[in-house]
């Protein structure tokens, strides 16, 4: 389920208490122990790099791992496949929306993802309609779609128009 938020990015604070880990862990004596969670931050770095860096610092805790696309390790495969692996392993995705769309996946990557998940068009019919037009989606948009597909908590924050953008900002 996606939770839509509309506020200035400089005021972002995410309450991680709403993110429930996928499974509970127990100590050997049966007591519950804290379960670490993982949050993926999704945005176009050229527009919101400074906010992304602040969010990584603000959200990282001993039991909270924060991931961004720049963290990708060489897992083989293409960028869209790497996004799929990272997001499938996260508990929540924070999707920062602005005016830039970022780099787009190519048709081969999208075909490979659809072959991997043949139920994706049925699970996300709005995405299926758009894919039918041959449109190549930006990776940032795929991050949100993959969160929905994987039933992750999705927080969408739209930047206020007056919010400061990065030095490489160019609306697309």
- What residue segments make up the domains of the chain, in order of their start? 2-102+138-158
Evaluate if residue 48 carries a pLDDT over 50: yes
User: pLDDT band at residue 18, thresholds of 50, 70 and 90?
Assistant: very low
pLDDT for 100-130, tens place per residue? 888 888 889 999 999 999 999 999 998 888 8
What average pLDDT does range 40-49 have in this prediction?
A: 86
Residues in the chain: 172
The reported pLDDT for the residue numbered 118 is 95
Q: Is the pTM of this model over 0.95?
A: no
What is the full DSSP assignment across 103-125?
PBPPHHHHHHHHHH-TTHHHH-H
The top-level CATH class assigned to 2-102+138-158 is alpha beta
Comparing 108 with 75, the larger pLDDT belongs to: 108
Predicted local distance difference test score (pLDDT) of residue 20: 45
**Distance from C-alpha of 3 to C-alpha of 64, rounded to nearest angstrom:** 20
Instruction: Tell me which of 34 and 82 has the higher pLDDT.
Output: 82
d(CA 96, CA 108): 26
User: What's the pLDDT at 77?
Assistant: 66
Q: Assess whether pLDDT exceeds 60 at residue 39.
A: yes
- Residue range 137-141: mean pLDDT, rounded: 91
Nearest CA-CA partner of 101 in 148, 150, 169: 169
Residues 19, 132: Cα–Cα separation, whole Å:
33
């Amino acid at each position: 389920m996606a939770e839509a938020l509309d506020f200035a990015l400089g005021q972002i604070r995410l309450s991680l208490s709403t993110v429930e880990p996928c499974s509970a862990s127990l100590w050997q004596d049966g007591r519950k122990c804290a379960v670490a969670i993982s949050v993926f931050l999704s945005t176009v770095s050229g527009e919101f790099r400074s906010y992304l860096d602040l969010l990584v610092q603000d959200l990282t805790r001993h039991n909270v791992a924060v991931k961004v696309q720049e963290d990708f390790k060489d897992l083989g495969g293409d960028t869209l496949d790497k996004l799929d692996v990272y997001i499938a392993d996260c508990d929540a995705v924070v999707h920062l929306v602005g005016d830039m769309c970022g780099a787009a996946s190519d048709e081969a990557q999208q075909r490979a993802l659809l072959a991997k998940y043949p139920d994706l068009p049925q699970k996300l019919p709005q995405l299926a309609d758009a894919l039918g037009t041959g449109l190549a989606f930006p990776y940032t948009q795929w991050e949100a779609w993959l969160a929905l597909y994987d039933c992750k908590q999705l927080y969408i924050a739209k930047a206020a128009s007056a919010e400061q953008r990065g030095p490489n900002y160019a609306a697309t």
